[in-house]
Amino acid sequence: MVIGIFKQQKFNNYLRINAKMSRKPNILIVYTGGTIGMIKDYKTNALKAFDFNQITKNIPELEQLNCSIQAISFNEPIDSSNMNTSFYVEIAETIENNYDKFDGFVVLTGSDTMSYTASAISFMFENLQKPIIFTGSQLPIGDLRTDAKENLITSIEIACSRKEDHKPVISEVCLYFEYKLYRANRTTKINAEQFEAFTSMNYPPLAESGVHLNFNKHYMYHQKNDEKPLVIRKKLVNDIAILKLFPGITKEVVASILSIKNLKGIVLETYGAGNAPNTVWFLELLKKAILNNIRIVNVTQCKGGAVAQGHYETSVGLKEIGIISGNDITTESAVAKLMYLLNENLSLKEFTYYFEKSLRGEISDVFSS
């Protein structure tokens, strides 16, 4: 009798697993705003908002994808220039509230701040086991030469792609644009006019779309323990600033930025491999800020390459006073990581350890301890 019950339980489990394997993946499109969501009214020649609830009707090509698609839009779509941390939380909560209902998510935002937004979401989601793909377009979806359809269709196809064990191929936050899928927190926007608007100088694409959709699986981020529950960090500290150096920057300019009320963090954009003026006044101002518990991160102004504090004489002083090395992190990702870590109430030693360590694949392993 006991053996019979055990066999029945195994059979029921088998049925549940096979039912899960045979069903189509469910994909949720989250539209926040941006160029991609506009369509032309050919009677008036004016652009109007695209109804994503009618997406398969307006883009019949989506019917060919082996997945079920639903869409949800912000009550008031926002221009990406108005993006801020409260909208990051709204995006995160939209995904959180639908996480168990869907197998993947495609987030549509304006491209101007997409790398900032997608980087922030990557840090907010801990133990992520499903794909979150950010995309947008340079031209509205209703334009004759639009890049929107390809970006959207391929992003959905990536989100519903499965491995042989029926787990998602992608289980991280990514950005797809112009035939390439990138790790989101490695990207930066490099062109305001060309369709190839984004790049990832320090990390290869995770996938490339051509005649075939080719995944570079050995570059993908994998959780060390995929049984850990999803954790969403919704508290971000935005009392930070970016201080970009330039030849001739004055003591007054640096002092005024470092003395901003309630300032908690600085992304210091330096020259080349992390170099900066080694003048006494400059180093003293930075040292004073660090003593006032302001976390300062050294990030290179270059689109590619990395900070190597101490390699040149003009970066030795930065290392000695306690400036944190950003290694090969992007400015966009550094901003997001600062916002995330500043809420954790870490000591300077702890903060330095976690910032210089790769948490979501944002820093190359060669730098991460």
Per-residue tokens: 242: 């970016």
Half-sphere exposure of 220 (CA within 13 A, CB side): 21
C-beta separation of 271 from 245 below 8 A: yes
Q: Say which of 32, 35, 109, 154 is annotated catalytic.
A: 35
- If you count them, how many residues does the chain have? 369
The contacts of residue 26 (CB under 8 Å, 6+ apart) are 67, 68, 70, 101, 102, 103, 104
**Full DSSP string of 223-277:** -S-TTSPPEE-------EEEEE--TT--HHHHHHHHT-TT--EEEEEEBTTTB--
Rounded-to-integer distance, Cα 171 and Cα 133, Å: 10
Determine whether 109 is an active site residue.
no
Q: Concatenate the DSSP letters of all residues of 80-116 into one string.
A: GGG--HHHHHHHHHHHHHHTTT-SEEEEE--GGGHHH
Instruction: Cite the active site residues.
Output: 35
